Structure formats: C-alpha cells, structure tokens
Amino acid sequence: MLPKKNRIDRKTVAKIFKIGRFVGSQNLTLKFIKESGGQSRISFVVPKNVARASSKRNYLRRRGYIIIEKYLNRFPLGFYGVFIFKTINIDIENEIKTILTKLH
C-alpha cells in the first residue's frame, strides 16, 4: 500500500480538479499538477456512478494504491496526481502503464 506521505489530502485534490491538466486512457484518467520540489503524491478516486457500493469503491482504491507503489519512482518530484476510474472492470496496472507512457 502506498505510504500516507505519498497520498494527497482532500484540499489538494480539490486544487488539482480546479487547475490540473489531464491525461487519459480508455478506463482511467489522470488529472495532475506539478509543484516545485517535494515528494510525488498520488491519489485514486472512484465515483459513485462507477461503483455504488462503498466496499467496491474502497477495494478499487486500495488496488490502485498497491499497484502504483511500484511505479512511484517514475513520477517527477513535486508531481501531484489523481487517478479517476471510469469503469469497474479494468486491468489497473496496464492502464497505469499506458498513462505513464503518455505522460513522458
């Protein structure tokens, strides 16, 4: 699981949604901003229209945090990003790889 120091708080998520840029794939979207210095921070959002049950939304978020931990070093310093799920039945790891290739 991704350490708490590498996750984004609610205030920063709101800021990212307001002024951030985005990169997307078919089933996952990354909205991000780049700040000067600091650690990279990542978060996952699963809207209610994707999964009604909170247990399913939490499951998807946790899976995302587990998978993104392997790729955290590929993000530049000061990178703040929010992954947004579009569908429930996806291969999260391949979607993240696709977005990372578009990002660089």
Q: What is the share, in percent, of the chain residues with pLDDT greater than 90? A: 88
Say which amino acid occupies 94: N
Could you tell me how far CA 32 lies from the centroid of its own chain? Answer: 9
Q: How far apart are CA 24 and CA 47, in angstroms?
A: 16
Output the pLDDT for position 69.
Answer: 94
What is the extent of the structural domain holding 28? 4-103
Q: 38 and 5 in contact (C-beta within 8 Å)?
A: no
Output the pLDDT for position 37.
Answer: 81
CA dihedral 79, 101, 26, 56 (to 10 degrees): -50
CATH number of the domain that residue 26 is part of = 3.30.230.10
pTM of the model: 0.93
Domain count along the chain: 1
Q: 50 and 86 in contact (C-beta within 8 Å)?
A: yes
Segment 7-46, tens digit of pLDDT? 999 999 999 999 999 999 999 999 999 998 889 999 999 9
